[in-house]
Chain A
Amino acid sequence: QSALTQPASVSGSPGQWITISCTGTSNDVGGYNYVSWYQQHPGRAPKLLIYDVTKRPSGVSNRFSGSKSGNTASLTISGLRTDDEADYYCSSYSGSSTFVVFGGGTKLAVL
């Protein structure tokens, strides 16, 4: 069982927007502004989309945005495209003992 809770799947239509939630505790998501989001297409390595809750690496589309409220972080994807179909994972720093925890992943379908 993953430390962070994500919905197993979400779906949307091209051009719409969706939000994926990532719920943790005050020991991880709620305690630090160190939440990251990764996109993984089948058979490919994960790709960093968002780090430190809201920051976007250079080269990542501004259609991807991150936020956090309390113990729940969110990834929003606007202007959905068919190539956004992938698995999405959140992660968070969790203190010096557990260090880094991941969510179980969310499969996005663009119908």
Chain B
Amino acid sequence: EVPLLESGGGLVQPGGSLRLSCAASGFTFSNFAMSWVRQAPGKGLEWISTITYNGGTTYSADSVKGRFSISRDNSKTTLYLQMNSLRAEDTALYYCTKGPEMTFGGEFVSSWLDPWGQGTLVTVSS
């Protein structure tokens, strides 16, 4: 059983939109904060966004703020990333990951991001 399985990637034109999904299994999804991290081809890791266990608080990198939106459906144990106004520089492999550990009040408790899904590739090109 794969704990985290991303989907929804593909080829999209600049200015377009995509919604990524991450299906979680094997743990109590509703008890954990979840995050998206991306990796451009041949480049390093970039944190994108984190959402608290109940979706009450979200955090996003400046590079995607106002364009990307993280959300979750605990009844479906699924994490989402809505990506709008896509740019060429958003081309990357997008990973879903469990963590970091946060209190129910949204305070950072522990820095782990584990496990990670296998990623879904987003290509922004005309």
Binding site for B on A (CB under 8 A): 2, 32, 34-36, 38, 40, 45-48, 51-52, 57, 87, 89, 91-93, 96, 98-105
**Does residue B112 face the partner (Cβ distance < 8 Å to A)?**
yes
Q: Is the interface of A mostly helix, strand, loop or mixed?
A: strand
Please report the C-alpha to C-alpha distance between residue A59 and residue B8 in the assembled complex, in whole angstroms.
Answer: 31
Q: State whether A91 touches B111 (Cβ < 8 A).
A: yes
Binding site for A on B (CB under 8 A): 35, 37, 44-47, 50, 59, 61-62, 95, 100, 108, 110-119
Chain A residues whose CB sits within 8 angstroms of the CB of B44 once the complex forms: 2, 87, 89, 102-105
How far in angstroms is the closest Cβ of chain A from B106? 9
Sample of 13 further A-B pairs with CB below 8 A, known A47-B116, A52-B110, A102-B44: A34-B108, A35-B111, A45-B119, A48-B114, A48-B115, A51-B110, A89-B45, A91-B47, A91-B111, A99-B47, A100-B35, A100-B111, A105-B44
| Cβ contact of A51, chosen from B62, B95, B112, cutoff 8 A | B112
| Cβ contact of B110, chosen from A34, A38, A45, A91, cutoff 8 A | A34
Question: Given A91-B45, A91-B47, A104-B44, are A36 and B118 neighbors across the interface (CB < 8 Å)?
Answer: no
Please report the C-alpha to C-alpha distance between residue A51 and residue B117 in the assembled complex, in whole angstroms.
Answer: 18
Please report the C-alpha to C-alpha distance between residue A38 and residue B118 in the assembled complex, in whole angstroms.
Answer: 15
Chain B residues whose CB sits within 8 angstroms of the CB of A46 once the complex forms: 37, 45, 95, 113, 116
Chain B residues whose CB sits within 8 angstroms of the CB of A52 once the complex forms: 110-112
Q: Which 3 A-B pairs have the closest CB atoms?
A: A34-B111, A48-B114, A51-B112
Chain A residues whose CB sits within 8 angstroms of the CB of B113 once the complex forms: 36, 38, 46, 48, 91
